[in-house]
Amino acid sequence: MKLPENDGLEISKLSSVFSDTTNSYKFYWFLSILDSLQENNEAIVSLNDIVIRMVANVWYPLDYYKLSFGKQDSFKKIAEFLTSKITIDNSINSPSLFNQINSKLNLDDNYLLSQKTSKLKTYVPSRFLSPFFSDEIRGLLDSQGISESQVNSKIKELANNNFKNNPQKVIYRFVGDCIEINEVWIDYFQKHQGILRGFIYWHLIKFLQKNNPNVIGLSEKLNKPTQRDLKQANLFWKEYLKETPQVNCIYSGQEITLQNLSLDHFLPWSFVAHDQLWNIIPTPKSVNSSKSDWLPSIELYINDYVYTQFKVYEFYFKKDKSKIIEDYSILFSQSSEFNKLIAFDDFKENLKKLILPQIQTARNMGFSYPFIYKK
């Protein structure tokens, strides 16, 4: 992905900041700088502010969606610490996670978070700039007995010494426990915010694909979940319930009515990140709340799930409403124009082939298993 050119800036160096990336720190460092500029447009930003933004940005893919960032990444423990200390509000209109961290963490927990992120503040800011001073530090990196802290100190020295005279190659300099972003780079970042974010996410997804080869919808799992549109699914199940007597919840056995209807994602939404109908099952509201984002017990529920899905598919097929069951045609790699009803045994086999490997993948990622309904 190519960044917009600027004759006064070393854009080729910026383009190489993610070369040979073995962890996620640089992605979230750059993204958090853009967030700070977008929100405040101030040149001087505290390292602590940027690092808290990094934690806020990384929490969703790590803790909510349970993606893997690799063995070298220390963000996982930081995200788990945050979850253990505050109840995070993920509702659509909730404050940003950055603001929630700042407002909900007490002084002691803030101190602990600062301790847990101290290495990020020490090493990431300087290493992000290393491509801009590759010639100056090449010999240093090749030398024997040179510590990482010495390399970092050299990069900071180069950044501070060149800040005014060579602004094209110095994005920021170090001022105490802050960085000061060069005005020429602020102009570039603000002008091209959208493209730069796309550049970061493009590289981040490539990085995540290596560590999450079996995970679907990676691009949907980088940020806070957006508002879900379950209008189609609601109409889908309501029409079925109106004409089908005695539809029971697969988890509790309770009868489902139009009054108590709630829609559950059999595979949690935070795992699949979509609202396709073959994964949505009707439950009473209390049962849906109890299940949350747990994985259902396969031994107890898979057969009832498949049977319920088949009956609603059959219902709409017989009504000649092929468009509304298009999700199923995609599921079975067929044209949306069904020419025959799929036999139950074939339906069951194909749906299990899709569901069972995904259940195992989700378990490997850390999703809670098994959900068993208890009154």
Q: In the predicted model, what is the mean pLDDT of residues 35-45? A: 97
Q: Phi/psi zone of residue 333: left (φ > 0), alpha (ψ -120 to 50 degrees), beta?
A: left
Helical (H) or strand (E) element with 259: none
The rounded distance, in Å, linking the Cα atoms of 366 and 371 is 14
| Residue 216: per-residue pLDDT | 87
Instruction: Examine the pLDDT at 258 and tell me if it is beyond 80.
Output: yes
Residues 6+ apart with CB under 8 A from 22: 70, 72
Cβ neighbours, 10 Å, residue 45: 20
Q: Quick check: helix, strand or coil at residue 88?
A: coil
Handedness of CA 80, 85, 88, 94 (dihedral sign): negative
**Do 162 and 170 contact (CB within 8 A), yes or no?**
yes
Buried b (16+ CB within 10 A) or exposed e, 59-78: bbbbbbbbbbbeeebebbeb
Which residue reads 């602990």 in tokens? Answer: 112
| pLDDT of 14 | 97
CA 26 centroid distance within chain? 16
The answer, yes or no, to whether residue 1 has pLDDT greater than 80, is no
Banded model confidence at residue 329, pLDDT cuts 50, 70, 90:
confident
Residues sharing a CB contact under 8 Å with residue 86, sequence separation 6 or more, in sequence order: 100, 101, 104, 105, 109
Structure tokens at 186: 């602020």
Residue 338 has pLDDT above 70, yes or no: no
CB 132 within 8 A of CB 169: yes
DSSP 4-57: PP-TTS-HHHHHTTTTT--SSHHHHHHHHHHHHHHHH--SEEEHHHHHHHHHHH
Give 124-175 pLDDT, tens digit per residue: 999 999 999 998 888 765 665 678 888 899 999 999 999 999 999 999 999 9
Structure-block tokens of residue 56: 């806020």
Taking only the tens place, the pLDDT of each residue in 65-95 is 999 999 888 999 999 999 999 999 998 899 9
* Distance, CA of 91 to CA of 102 (rounded, Å): 18
Q: How far is CA 293 from the centre of its chain?
A: 15
Cα gap 253→373, rounded to integer Å: 10
Provide the pLDDT confidence category of residue 119 given band limits of 50, 70 and 90: very high
CA distance 101 to 52: 8
What does the pLDDT read at residue 218? 93
The band of 360, judged by pLDDT with boundaries at 50, 70 and 90, is very high
- What would the DSSP string read from start to end of 142-197? HSTT--HHHHHHHHHHHHHHHTTT-GGG-SEEEETTEEEE-HHHHHHHHHTHHHHH
Positive or negative, the Cα torsion across 56, 76, 130, 111? positive
Round to whole Å and give the CA distance between 102 and 117.
15
